[in-house]
Structure formats: C-alpha cells, structure tokens
Amino acid sequence: MTANKVMFITGAAKRLGAFNAVFFHQAGWNIVLHYNQSAAPAVNLADKLNQQRPDSVKLVQGSFNSLLDIEQVGDDAVAAFGRLDCLLNNASAFYATPIGSIDEQDWTALVGSNMQAPLFLAQRCVHALKETQGNIINMVDIHALRPLQKHSLYCMAKAALVSMTYSLAQELAPLVRVNGIAPGAILWPETALGDEQKSEILKHIPLQQLGSEKDIAQGIEYLLNANYVTGQILAIDGGRSIASQGQL
Ligand SMILES: NC(=O)c1ccc[n+]([C@@H]2O[C@H](COP(=O)([O-])OP(=O)(O)OC[C@H]3O[C@@H](n4cnc5c(N)ncnc54)[C@H](OP(=O)(O)O)[C@@H]3O)[C@@H](O)[C@H]2O)c1
C-alpha cells in the first residue's frame, strides 16, 4: 500500500488554511495542521477530519514571532508523519501600518509570519521534501508587487516571499518545485471593512466578484500537478492585478 501524501499547512485553523486542509484531506492527503492562537477551531477541525479517517491529521502549534519557535514547528511538522510532500506557507498577519506608527512588534509579527517563517520552515523541511520530490507553495498577495495603501510592512514582507519563491525554485530544482499563489480579494479581512470600501474594491475587479476558497484550493491543486512548473506566481484575483493603473 502506498503511504498517503502529507501536506503541512501553516495557519490552518480557520479561513483559507482550514478550507485547504479539508479540501486536500478529502483528496486523500494527510495533513499537518499548524495553528498559533486558534486552539479551539484547530482541535475541532482535526477531530472532525480524524473521525472521517483515523490518524490522518496531526496538530502543531507555535508562534512565528520567534525563530526558535518557527524551527521547532518545522521539526514537529516533519516528525508528525515521518514524511512530507508539500509545505503550504499560508499563515499571515495582516493589518495596516501607516508610516510613523510602525514599531518592532509590527515588524516581528508581519515579517515573522509572512517572510521569516516561510524561509526557515522551508529550510527545516527541505530534506524531507527532497525525499518525496515535493512542493513548496507560498501564499503571497497581488499587493506584494502593487502596494496596498498604508500596508507597507505587509507588502514588503510578501514581496520578499515572492523573491524567496524565485530563489528557492532555482536552488531546490530539480527535486523540489516552489511556486506561489497570489490571491486577490477572496475573504474579507477579519478587521472590519465598511460597505463603501468593499464596493470600491469590487468595482475594480474585472470579474466583478470576490473569489472563493475553492478557487484558491484548485490553484494549489493545479500547481501540485504541474510537473513542469516551478518559480511561478499564479494570480487568482478575478483580473484585479491587470486592471487599469491607479485603481485599488
Ligand atoms: N483572504 C484573502 O482574501 C487573501 C487575499 C490576499 C492574500 N491572502 C493570503 O492567503 C493566506 C491565507 O489568507 P487568510 O485570510 O485565510 O489568512 P488569515 O486568516 O489572515 O491568517 C491565517 C492564520 O495565520 C496565523 N498567523 C497570523 N500571524 C501569525 C504568527 N505571528 N505566528 C503564527 N501564525 C500566525 C493565524 O493563526 P491563529 O489564528 O492560529 O493564531 C491565522 O489564523 C495568507 O497568506 C494571506 O496573506 C489572502
């Protein structure tokens, strides 16, 4: 019998990470489900999936605000099933940091989750990924290269993650493929957005609607199956990144 493939998803207790955990679990993958503060949703989700298929989901916990913790999470993830086929760098802090207000805590949270963790987790996981000829998939953002107002630190960290995708794709080939997904507006941020802001964003999306979690999962599925694709960022954004200059 062939062993199930293993996907390590960071920040997977809720929202896109949780959806991907369910989506790939249903497709037969075992999941290493990372969470930081969302213990209850993470445990509930893992229990639910383990009832469907015993011992198919393992939890790892840790903050990405410290390098030691990141490395421990990476080691725990590799040890969870003793193999690894995909590292999905999904965890992300996201909030505005207007210039003049940025402090070390913002730096630690935004750089830690969006840039530092993906790099050091990749480093911790690379040996296991080479053994399975696996994949690293980085969740970036269309705003990595096209700034979102008052989010310089988040955008800088995501831009570094785009750059890391290119660098590691080159360095880890031919054994490990490294790609990224750049979502546009899929789920509204947990920080409140007014109706006016939402309709302003929707106005500038050529396909004129939000994307769905399934659109993202299908993009990841495509990259996992695309054996001749590495070092690419797939925008899943309803055309927002090619909309006219000057718009949101
Ligand atoms: N949602 C969208 O429309 C959209 C648009 C563009 C890009 N993206 C990208 O797609 C990915 C998923 O988006 P999302 O909206 O589902 O993400 P999210 O809910 O904002 O964040 C996912 C998880 O990241 C974890 N996290 C945040 N800071 C952390 C830290 N310092 N250490 C460890 N974990 C931390 C949190 O885990 P705990 O709750 O367990 O603490 C959180 O639940 C992200 O990389 C995001 O940048 C999403």
For ligand 1, whether the C-beta of 165 sits within 6 Å is: no
| 228 in active site | no
Written as one letter, the residue type at 136 is: I
Q: Are 91 and 118 in contact (CB under 8 A)?
A: no
pTM of the model: 0.97
Map out the domains of the chain with their CATH numbers.
Answer: 6-242 (3.40.50.720)
Q: From residue 64, give the alpha-carbon distance in Å to each of 90, 120, 196, 217.
A: 12, 10, 33, 23
Residue 172 Cα to ligand 1 midpoint, Å, equals 26
Full DSSP string of 64-83: TTSHHHHHHHHHHHHHHHS-
Catalytic residue among 35, 95, 154, 166: 154
Residues 6+ apart with CB under 8 A from 55: none
Q: From the CA of 64, give the closest atom in ligand 1.
A: 32
Q: Which of 110, 217, 220, 233 is nearest to 164 (CA)?
A: 233
- One digit per residue, the tens of pLDDT, for the chain of length 248 reads 568 999 999 999 999 999 999 999 999 999 999 999 999 999 999 999 999 999 999 999 999 999 999 999 999 999 999 999 999 999 999 999 999 999 999 999 999 999 999 999 999 999 999 999 999 999 999 999 999 999 999 999 999 999 999 999 999 999 999 999 999 999 998 877 888 988 988 999 999 999 999 999 999 999 999 999 999 999 999 999 998 654 44
Q: From the CA of 185, give the closest atom in ligand 1.
A: 3
Residue 2 Cα to ligand 1 midpoint, Å, equals 32
Q: How far apart are CA 114 and CA 120, in angstroms?
A: 11
Residue 111 Cα to ligand 1 midpoint, Å, equals 13
For ligand 1, whether the C-beta of 19 sits within 6 Å is: no
